[in-house]
Amino acid sequence: MTQRIAVVTGAARGIGAEVAARLAADGNAVAVVDLDEAASKEVADRINGSGGWAIGIGADVSDEEQVTAAVTRVAEELGAPTILVNNAGIIRDNLLFKMTVADWDAVMGVHLRGAFLMSREVQKYQTKEGWGRIVNLSSTSALGNRGQANYAAAKAGMQGFTKTLALELGRFGVTANAVAPGFIATEMTAATAERIGVSFEDFKEASAAEIPVRRVGVPADIANAVSFFAGEGAGFVSGQVLYVAGGPKA
């Protein structure tokens, strides 16, 4: 089997860290890219310690120069990257009337500009290799979520971006799909609980009661879906949005 080179952004913790570990366990070499370089290296060390092959790279995905430098480093140290998971994300929640321009721009910058810059850079290698997988993290918030005008717009934007990449890159053997998680227990959802003033345990319990499978998600639920889209077998699946939310979403 060919060993592929995967890049996972925002992989220093949460969903990204789990995705990186899973793609490594699937047999890929993995670049763990995150703002937090020290934590990226720890995730890479853990992967290397369990028999995988990974490197940690510090980069801000919304910064063009840093993205170019990071992807060049991946190509030099691991080989041509052909799997890209655009997972880096932030929330800056507020009701519209209280949302600042900085809150709006920060969220657009990481999710949309970040996914655009990373994809534009990595597709150079994918189209040359004639094979590639792009997996973008959307969210159930794309369907609308109170207090998240910026995040909902960005996550809906990720879906349009994904479908367009599927149309443009398909002829080069590159697929693009989106995974749209529901509630996943990570530092991001813990921060939401803190903002609304409830304990994380109570927040998870209340959320689970509203989810058909009666539990909140864990990062491995998302890593499983990403692993499918990133794999050899998914070559005829492109431009799709998979809600991984413990129940139907549309």
Catalytic positions are: 151
Rule CB under 6 A: choose which of 60, 93, 129, 221 binds ligand NAD.
Answer: 60
Q: Does the footprint of ligand NAD cover residue 110 (CB under 6 A)? A: yes
119 is a contact residue toward ligand NAD (CB under 6 A): no
Binding mask 156-195 for ligand NAD (x = CB under 6 A): -------------------------x-xx-xxxx------
Question: DSSP letters of 80-97?
Answer: ---EEEE-------B-GG
Residue 42 interacts with ligand NAD (CB under 6 A): yes or no: no
- Contact pick of 5, 6, 8, 16 for ligand NAD (by CB under 6 A): 16
Q: Does 12 bind ligand NAD (CB under 6 A)?
A: yes
Report the b/e string of 43-68 with b at 16+ CB within 10 A: bbebbeeeebebbbbbbbbbbeebbe
For residue 97, the minimal CB distance to ligand NAD (Å) is 23
C-alpha triplet 129, 48, 62: angle, nearest 5°:
55
3-class SS shares of the chain: helix, strand, coil, % to 5: 55, 15, 30
Using CA atoms, how far apart are residues 207 and 147, in angstroms rounded to an integer?
Answer: 16
Of the candidates 74, 84, 90, 230, which one interacts with ligand NAD according to CB under 6 A? 90
* Inter-CA distances, 141 with 68, 136, 150, 243, Å: 30, 14, 10, 11
Segment near ligand NAD (CB under 6 A); pick from 23-31, 49-57, 87-95, 118-126: 87-95
Residue 231: count of CB within 10 angstroms of its CB: 17
Q: Is 246 in the site for ligand NAD (CB under 6 A)?
A: no
Contact between 135 and ligand NAD by CB under 6 A: the answer reads: no
Residues that bind ligand NAD in the complex, under the rule CB under 6 A: 9-10, 12-16, 34-36, 60-62, 87-90, 110, 114, 137, 139, 181, 183-184, 186-189
